[in-house]
């Protein structure tokens, strides 16, 4: 009897492990076609120019790495809602450094704190300009003096590429995509990404870039197993 | 608008000075919008928490320089308009109404430095009501100069508060109204300057002996209204903060009229490589832009035609009118050229701002010519009426000392 109970327990444990199994979605997004050259930000004011003594920064529309891996592509699972753990998650950090927002593209969960720092020796204003205002994402505009305390923002609704800007320096932008779940990633400078801990199952994965493929998302149906899943896609510069 | 009982060259000069300052204010406001720095000072009526007149010069950096300068020049224009209004009321009125206007002006000036936004909103509402009343009186009275001056003073108050609310309420629509009132305010100041000067007196003397065709008067009015409509379209385009909706000329996205289906819109937006990263354009922005081009085409034809007719009708009688008409042709040609250059050079801030300024001056010239033409028509009617004996109606308004 005891043996049967132990065996049952072991089987149940095994099944629960099987049910809770998860994998990672990894892959590379590449750029095809020829992207226009990035342009130097020549209108930078003298104080910001001092922070770039050697070379002025450029726009960051098409940032590609080795083998045309495309950075700043947002990769996410479609059709998942109500799974946000944003309230308990670590803040996403944006930094204003050398009169540029870093990172240029990132992502967060709904309700997750987005912390904006000012690492510059000059003032900025932090101005999130959401599009999905009807769902509760609010525009704001706050001063941030040099070495001032970080400013925190949260957004309750999903939105792709929610704009953060500085109007004092009107070339400074950052784009935060907000999801109602934690299954997303942004490609690095080589175009690679990794979405960790995706429960096993069938999904539609979407990739979207602000400019490539005319800003339209590309989707692919995948199945995530214990071994994870691989998504390699290309986006065209049109 | 009729003339003051006695012309005053210095009053007229001061009014022209105020109008000139207003044009500078419009220029700096144009730069603020063109550079996309309108929100660089997030608070109002304070500036980064300071009383705006005490904001340290060392912090006038980046976009703050333009936005803060715009606020300060606006305050100077407000002060000059107050002085102009007070002076006109001093000359043209007395008694309790003058004291009331003085009190209103002083109360408004005392608000400079107040940090409460609510107080300014209340003042703007009062100014709006007073302005409507003054405008109504101006239409009714035979000598309305002082009422128009009061309208101008109320307008500058409302305009200042709208500018502040544009920042704190973060609403683009307020920016469109703000940009439009600026043009009307400039026109009003120029008319005040014109009607207080000697030129206006001489014009009225000449006008009593000459007539111009009614069709020319209508043509001038129509052209001026279309210029104003064009400025409205322009202000709507600029305050969408969506940048250039159509980046090529003479074609538009390679066609006579651009496609506005979702795929085409996505392609247009993806091809924009502007470091100012304006908002994505929507089909509405394309239609607005194309309407602006179509209206420009109409005005490029209509203004020279109207100007040539003015030259023929008035050139020998009132040489200044002929010269103004010639300048009008020059202005519309320059303005059209600036519009094309704005498109072909991806809307640089200085060119786009110059386009706004020349547009404002074109409107002013249109209004001045229209008002002059109206004076001629009235003069003709008067000449006829003066030849008949007419009893003075009981209770008719008497000229004031």
Task: Catalogue all structural domains in chain A, each as residue range(s) with its CATH number.
Answer: 23-75+188-238 (2.60.40.1120), 81-182 (2.60.40.420)
Confidence tier at A6 by pLDDT (50, 70, 90): low
pLDDT at B377: 62
Q: Which residues of B touch A215 (CB under 8 A)?
A: 266, 269-270
Q: Which residues of A touch B38 (CB under 8 A)?
A: 167
Complex-level ipTM = 0.85
pLDDT at B64: 96
Confidence tier at A15 by pLDDT (50, 70, 90): very low
pLDDT at A1: 42
- How does pLDDT run across B215-227, given as a tens digit for each residue? 999 999 999 999 9
Among all residues of chain A, which has the CA nearest to that of B272? A211
How confident is the prediction for chain B on average, in pLDDT?
91
**A167 to chain B, minimum CA–CA distance in Å?**
4
Residue of B324 and A10 predicted with greater confidence: B324
Record: contact A127-B42, CB cut-off 8 A: yes
Contact B216, B25 (CB under 8 A): no
Four-residue CA torsion sign, B225, B226, B227, B229: positive
Mean pLDDT of B21-33: 97
pLDDT at B79: 97
Confidence tier at B325 by pLDDT (50, 70, 90): very high
Instruction: Judge whether residue A10 has pLDDT over 80.
Output: no
pTM: 0.88
Count of other CB atoms within 10 angstroms of residue B261: 9
Count of other CB atoms within 10 angstroms of residue A186: 19
Token pair 């008949």: residue: B388
Instruction: Judge whether residue B387 has pLDDT over 60.
Output: no
Return the half-sphere exposure (C-beta side, CA atoms, 13 A cut-off) of residue B343.
20
Return the half-sphere exposure (C-beta side, CA atoms, 13 A cut-off) of residue B83.
14
Record: contact A173-B277, CB cut-off 8 A: yes
Q: Which residues of A touch B63 (CB under 8 A)?
A: 167-170
Instruction: Judge whether residue A232 has pLDDT over 90.
Output: yes
- How does pLDDT run across A156-177, given as a tens digit for each residue? 999 999 999 999 999 999 999 9
**B139 to chain A, minimum CA–CA distance in Å?**
43
Record: contact B269-A169, CB cut-off 8 A: no
Instruction: Judge whether residue B61 has pLDDT over 60.
Output: yes
Instruction: Judge whether residue A138 has pLDDT over 80.
Output: yes
DSSP state for residue A84 in the 8-state scheme: -
Instruction: Judge whether residue B390 has pLDDT over 60.
Output: no
pLDDT at B113: 75
**A26 to chain B, minimum CA–CA distance in Å?**
26
Q: Which residues of B touch A125 (CB under 8 A)?
A: 39-42
- The C-alpha atoms of residue A7 and residue A13 are separated, in whole angstroms, by 10
pLDDT at B6: 52
**A167–B contact, CB cutoff 8 A:** yes
- The C-alpha atoms of residue A169 and residue A171 are separated, in whole angstroms, by 6
- How does pLDDT run across B140-150, given as a tens digit for each residue? 998 899 999 99
Instruction: Judge whether residue A16 has pLDDT over 90.
Output: no
**A44 to chain B, minimum CA–CA distance in Å?**
8
- How does pLDDT run across A192-221, given as a tens digit for each residue? 999 999 999 999 999 999 999 999 999 999
The minimal CB distance from A238 to the residues B38, B62, B267 is found for B267
pLDDT at A20: 59
Record: contact A45-B61, CB cut-off 8 A: yes
Confidence tier at B401 by pLDDT (50, 70, 90): very low
How confident is the prediction for chain A on average, in pLDDT?
92
A215 SS3 class? helix
**A48–B contact, CB cutoff 8 A:** yes
Record: contact A238-B270, CB cut-off 8 A: yes
Mean pLDDT of A46-64: 94
Q: Which residues of A touch B241 (CB under 8 A)?
A: none
Instruction: Judge whether residue B111 has pLDDT over 90.
Output: no
Record: contact B37-A211, CB cut-off 8 A: no
Question: Which H, E and C letters describe chain B, residue by residue?
Answer: CCCCCCCCHHHHHHHHHHHHHHHHHHHHHHHHHHHCCCCCCCCCCCECCECHHHCCHHHCCHHHHHHHHHHHHHHHHHHHHHHHHHHHHHHHCCCHHHHHHHHHHHHHHHCCCCCCHHHHHHHHHHHHHHHHHHHHHHHHCCCCHHHHHHHHHHHHHHHHHHHHHHHHCCCHHHHHHHHHHHHHHHHHHHHHHHHCCHHHHHHHHHHCCCCCCHHHHHHHHHHHHHHHHHHHHHHHHHCCCCCCCCCCCCCECCECCCCCCHHHHHHHHHCCCCCCCCCCCCHHHHHHHHHHHHHHHHHHHHHHHHHHHHHHHHCCCCHHHHHHHHHHHHHHHHHHHHHHHHHHCCCCHHHHHHHHHHHHHHHHHHHHHHHHHHHHHHHHHHHHHHCCCCCCCCCCCCCCC
């Amino acid at each position: 009897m005891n043996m049967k109970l132990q065996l049952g327990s072991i089987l149940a444990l095994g099944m629960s492990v099987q049910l809770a199994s998860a994998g990672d979605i990894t892959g590379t997004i590449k750029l095809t076609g020829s992207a226009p050259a990035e342009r130097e930000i020549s209108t930078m004011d003298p104080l910001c120019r001092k922070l770039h003594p050697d070379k002025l920064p450029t726009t960051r529309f098409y940032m590609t790495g080795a083998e045309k891996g495309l950075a700043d592509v947002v990769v996410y699972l479609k059709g998942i809602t109500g799974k946000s753990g944003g309230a308990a998650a670590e803040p996403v950090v944006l930094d204003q450094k050398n009169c540029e927002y870093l990172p240029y593209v990132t992502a967060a969960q709904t309700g997750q704190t987005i912390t904006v720092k000012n690492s510059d020796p000059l003032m900025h204003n932090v101005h999130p300009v959401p599009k999905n205002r009807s769902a509760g994402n609010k525009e704001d505009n706050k001063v941030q003096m040099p070495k001032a305390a970080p400013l925190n923002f949260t957004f309750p609704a999903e939105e792709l590429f929610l704009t953060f800007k500085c109007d004092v320096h009107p070339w400074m932008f950052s784009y935060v995509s907000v999801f109602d779940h934690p299954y997303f990633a942004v490609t690095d400078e080589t175009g690679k990404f990794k979405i960790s801990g995706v429960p096993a199952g069938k999904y539609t994965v979407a990739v979207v870039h602000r400019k490539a493929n005319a800003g339209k998302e590309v989707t692919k149906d995948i199945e995530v197993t214990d071994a994870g899943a691989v998504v390699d896609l290309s986006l065209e510069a049109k | 608008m009729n003339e003051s009982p006695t012309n005053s060259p210095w009053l007229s000069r001061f009014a022209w000075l105020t109008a000139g300052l207003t044009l500078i204010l419009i220029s700096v406001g144009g730069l603020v919008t063109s550079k996309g720095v309108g929100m660089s000072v997030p608070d109002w009526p304070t500036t980064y928490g300071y009383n705006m007149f005490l904001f340290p010069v060392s912090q006038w950096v980046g976009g703050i320089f333009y936005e803060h300068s715009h606020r300060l020049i606006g305050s100077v224009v407000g002060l000059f308009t107050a002085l102009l209004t007070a002076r006109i009321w001093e000359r043209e009125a007395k008694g309790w109404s003058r004291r009331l206007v003085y009190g209103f002006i002083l109360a408004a000036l005392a608000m400079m430095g107040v940090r409460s936004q609510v107080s300014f909103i209340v003042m703007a509402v009062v100014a709006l009501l007073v302005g409507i009343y003054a405008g109504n009186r101006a239409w009714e009275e035979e000598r309305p100069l002082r009422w128009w001056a009061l309208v101008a003073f109320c307008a500058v108050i409302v305009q200042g508060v709208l500018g502040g609310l544009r920042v704190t309420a973060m609403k683009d629509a307020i920016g469109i109204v703000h940009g439009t009132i600026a043009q009307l305010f400039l026109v009003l100041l120029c008319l005040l300057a014109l009607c207080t000067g000697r030129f206006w007196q001489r014009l009225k003397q000449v006008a009593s002996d000459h007539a111009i065709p009614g069709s020319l008067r209508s043509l001038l009015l129509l052209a001026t209204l279309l210029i104003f409509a064009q400025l409205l379209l322009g202000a709507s385009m600029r305050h969408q903060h969506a940048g250039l909706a159509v980046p090529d000329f003479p074609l538009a996205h390679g066609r006579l009229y651009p496609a506005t289906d979702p795929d085409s819109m996505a392609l247009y937006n993806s091809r924009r490589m502007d470091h100012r990263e304006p908002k994505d354009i929507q089909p509405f922005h394309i239609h607005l832009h194309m309407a602006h081009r179509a209206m420009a085409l109409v005005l490029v034809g209509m203004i020279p035609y109207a100007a040539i007719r003015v030259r023929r009708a008035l050139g020998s009688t009132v040489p200044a009118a002929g010269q103004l008409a010639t300048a009008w042709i020059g202005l519309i040609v320059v303005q059209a050229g600036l519009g094309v250059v704005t498109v072909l050079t991806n809307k640089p801030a200085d060119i786009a701002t110059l386009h706004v300024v020349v547009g404002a001056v074109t409107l002013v010239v249109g209004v001045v010519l229209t008002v002059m033409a109206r004076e001629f028509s009235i003069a003709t009617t008067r000449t006829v009426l003066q030849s008949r004996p007419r009893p003075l109606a009981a209770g008719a308004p008497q000229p004031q000392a």
